[in-house]
Amino acid sequence: MPFTAQELNNIATAALDFHLKGAVHKQSIQDKPYLRHLKSKQKTFPGGKEKITKRAKGDYTTTLQGFEHDDLVTYANPANLKQAEYVWKEVHAGIQVTMTELKKDGISVVDSMNGANTVEHSKREMTALANLLEDKLDDMSEGYSRGMNEMYWRDGTQDAKQSPGTRSIILDDPTTATIVGGIDQQANTWWRNRASLALSTATPSDLVIINTLTTERRQLRRYGGRPTVAYCGSEWLDAMEAEVRAKGSFTDKGFSREQRIDVGISDIDLKDIGFIYDPTLDDLGLTKYCFVLDTRTLHPMVMEGEDDKTHAPARPEDKYVLYRATTWTGGFVCWQRNANGVYSIA
């Protein structure tokens, strides 16, 4: 099968023609703070038929009853347990590279079964501008990272075979008749995340955002929640910083040519909650949103031995093509929704 135009162009870019030598300068890799934080919080599970489950309870039957002498008293029989459940999924990211491509880049494959070892030709630096194999592996790594990051943010509608993420659990309207994690949020008020949308930013000095979040922090902690981080879109942070500036000043020393004035402000915290810009929210059209999260209660669950698992499949006997892949098997869970909240500006 002949090379596609894209493959030929890739070879031409990596091999010597007239381009500048040196490292490939990556132009579109964004920070992924949410993904990085979730990786540190994920837990494992041993396996199972199709779901990750945990018991949850928000209603209580037993009541206090006064009595004296021989008054009749009553006994309750509590039956309020519910089961929170989340499906686990399998995801894959992989690349292929032909041995011909590698030869053009001055690289020979030692083990042609699965490409476990490669050797660079002598004087390869005379013709190669960038390591083609490294570039393809780097592409797979970043593509996998981007995919996992978006999967953790999205609600699962983008691909039924991917794990639903944060937006499937932390909903804009937590009062509708919607089943979340196997539990009806309308019928069970304790099984709802906090939400306050379209906050006004017309007059920053009114401190609508800061006052709302101060009140919300108490509610998020009401039932034992401990939110410590808030991931925000750019417009949300712009509006929040405008409120801070409305009650502050650039300097208390006056303006002069001899003095450099820092007109910026430090990163914003609200007591124990840190506000972090996540570029992915801008990519998803959520520039005006802020998610205040307790990641003790909201995190990935990965199957034991299946976290970022790498593969080097044997090549087909009739093709000189090498394959590399990374897979992940797990789900995204929340055990206490009322410790997490979503907020947005108008």
Sequence ranges of the domains in the chain: 5-12+31-59+80-250+262-345
- Does 127 score more than 50 pLDDT? no
Tell me the mean pLDDT in the region 176-198: 96
Q: How much of the chain is in helix, strand and coil states, percent to nearest 5?
A: 25, 25, 50
**Class of the 5-12+31-59+80-250+262-345 domain?**
alpha beta
Structure confidence by residue, pLDDT tens digits, 3-51: 666 665 666 555 555 444 455 567 778 999 999 999 999 999 998 788 9
- pLDDT at residue 254 greater than cutoff 80: no
Looking up tokens 């991931």 gives 231
Q: What global pTM score does this model have?
A: 0.84
The answer to whether residue 136 scores a pLDDT higher than 50 is yes
In sequence order, which residues have a C-beta less than 8 Å from that of residue 157 and are 6 or more positions away?
Answer: none
Say how far apart CA 215 and CA 221 lie, in whole Å.
Answer: 10
Pairing of strands 273-277, 229-232: parallel
DSSP string, 131-185: -HHHHHHHHHHHHHHHHHHHHHHS-STT-TTSPP-GGGTS-S-TTSS-EETTEET
Specify the pLDDT at position 19.
47
Which residue is listed with tokens 């686990």? 88
Helix, strand, or coil (residue 318): coil
Answer whether 338's CB lies under 8 Å from 292's CB.
Answer: no
Q: Whole-angstrom Cα distance, residue 132 to residue 250?
A: 50
**Under 8 Å between Cβ of 132 and 11:** yes
Question: Which residues make beta-bridge pairs with 342?
Answer: 195, 291
